[in-house]
Every structure is written in C-alpha cells, then in structure tokens.
Amino acid sequence: MLTKRLIACFDIIGGMVTKAVQFQDNINVAPAEELAETMYNEQIDELIFYDITASAEKRGIDIETVKKVARRLFIPFTVGGGIKNLHDMYEALKAGAEKISVDSMAVRNPQIITEGSKAFGAQCIVLSTQVKRTGLTPSGYEVYIDGARLATGMDAIEWVKRGQELGAGEICVNSIDRDGTLSGYDIELMKLAGAAVSVPLIASGGAGIPEHLKDLFTGTDAQAAIISSMLYSPRLERNFSVRELKDYLLQNGIAARPILTGELPCK
C-alpha cells in the first residue's frame, strides 16, 4: 500500500513564507530557508514552494530563494510561480528543485505541460490549479489564475483531466473557498477530481485539525495533503508537529511514513 504524503506548502513573497486566508491578507511567518530546515528536521515528506506574486507581476520565479531552500532539504521539492517556458523549468531544476509546478501559465499555454513532460519526464511536472465553487460550470467548480484573482470560466474537473492528458504526472487541487479557513478540505471537490484522473492527486486548502486528514484520506483518492496552516500558521493558538500528524494517521489505520530516529541526511 502506498503511504499518504504530508506536504508543507510555502507561499513566498520576497523570500518570506506568508500565510493568507482565501489568498488575501498575507502575513509573514519566517524566512523561507529557515522554515524549510525546520520542516525537514520534523520529517515532512515533501515541500512545495510557490512564488505567489510572480505571475501577477509578470516576472520569473525567485531563483535565489529556491537555491537557499534547496540547500536545507533532502526531500522532494516542488517549485512554481513565474514558470513561463522550458528554460525557466531548467533553471528551477538546476537551482535544486525536483519537480516543477505550473498553474496560471498552463491555463494560458497548455502546451507547456506537454513540453515539460517530454523534456524532463511526467513525474517532474505538477499541474496546480486554484479552484472556486461558483456554480457556473458543469461541475460547479471554476478555475482561477493569477493568485486566485482572475476567473477563467474553465470547468475545474475538465481542466485537471486535460492536464493529465497533456502530460502532467501529478495534480494539485487548491480550494480557494477553504484556503486558510481551517474548516477542512473540500471533500466533494476532491472526489470529483479523483474520479477524473489516475495520476497522484494532492489536496490543498482547509486543513485545521488532524481529523481533516483522516476525512480526506478515507473519503477520497487523494494521495497527498498540503497542511501548511496546521504546521506554522500564526493565526492558530496551537500548531501541530509532523510527528503528531503522522502518529495520528498511523493510529487510525492510514498508511503514513513513520518518523525516523537518528541523524537525517543533509546536502
């Protein structure tokens, strides 16, 4: 049985990890490289890094911060934001990323998924999508881009299905409605996405307590969960450790990678 993955997600502005509610009112948490080292030492399974203003500001990804974070990690590391072409993908991979996430640019130019998959392998390309329940599409869910600022009119479920067909090796679905609310994942959304694709599926948006992870992993086909607010949100009176979350999953019969003893590998 494949283990479920717990992923820390860094929303980056100017080298700092920030936290927001429904993509608004960001507040700074810590320098990205410092928090990355903390998460690695706690034995988070993976890290996703989004330069969340790159697309809206029409610039490339913050490569220097990617390098700083990569130096602190020895786990899968995905980066996204401002990725416009194969050259940008190559530069991010050279800086230390293992996977590339495409979002707004993939909507504008879907062939970037295919190009990246052919050049670097499907396992390297993650289609990330920001989704809101609007009732204006067949599934009821609509794709947004540019940091959830712009509605596209695209059906979210049709888009993730197409993303897989174009060559994405993994899909990350972020619920705008649940983002930062700590109210639990959008289970209906993840069920629809799971029925549409066969590649690994990451759920994002809404995790606030360990029970939300249980609901996700027992009720949907999601293979991984983003849990950033639970780990380090300053809006929470109490944050959870990675150990607490993994122990909870294991105690509830959900396959998770156990915490290892001894010194961790380092670069």
Residue 211 has pLDDT above 90, yes or no: yes
pLDDT of residue 29: 76
Flag whether 256 is in a domain: no
pLDDT of residue 251: 96
- State phi, psi for 29 to the nearest 5 degrees: -110, -55
Flag whether 265 is in a domain: no
Instruction: Give the least confident one: 30-34, 58-62, 128-132.
Output: 58-62
User: 235 pLDDT band (50/70/90 cuts)?
Assistant: low
Instruction: Give the least confident one: 19-23, 25-29, 97-101, 183-187.
Output: 19-23
* Strands 224-226 vs 201-204: parallel, antiparallel or unpaired: parallel
Number of domains into which the chain is organized: 1
- The whole-angstrom distance between residue 81's C-alpha and the CA centroid of its chain comes to 12
- State phi, psi for 30 to the nearest 5 degrees: -170, 160
Using CB atoms within 10 Å of the CB of residue 259, give its burial: 0 to 12 exposed, 13 to 18 middle, 19+ buried.
middle
Residue 25 has pLDDT above 60, yes or no: no
What CATH number should be reported for the domain holding residue 57? 3.20.20.70
pLDDT of residue 209: 93
pLDDT tens-digit map of 142-163: 999 988 889 999 999 999 999 9
pLDDT tens-digit map of 5-16: 999 999 898 899
- Long-range contacts of the stretch 213-216 (C-beta < 8 A, 24+): 213/4, 213/6, 213/245, 213/248, 213/249, 213/254, 214/248, 214/249, 214/252, 214/254, 215/184, 215/185, 215/187, 216/185, 216/187, 216/190
Flag whether 264 is in a domain: no
Flag whether 263 is in a domain: no
Q: What is the DSSP letter of 103?
A: -
Q: Which residues form the domain of 189? A: 5-251
* Strands 201-204 vs 170-175: parallel, antiparallel or unpaired: parallel
Going by C-alpha positions, the residue among 222, 220, 223, 243 that lies closest to residue 231 is 243
pLDDT of residue 58: 80
In the chain, the amino acid numbered 88 is D
Tell me the whole-structure pTM to 2 decimals: 0.92
pLDDT tens-digit map of 50-76: 998 887 788 889 999 999 999 999 999
Flag whether 267 is in a domain: no
Residue 30 has pLDDT above 90, yes or no: no
Flag whether 130 is in a domain: yes
pLDDT of residue 114: 98
Flag whether 258 is in a domain: no
Flag whether 105 is in a domain: yes
Number of separate helices (H) and strands (E) present in the chain = 10, 12
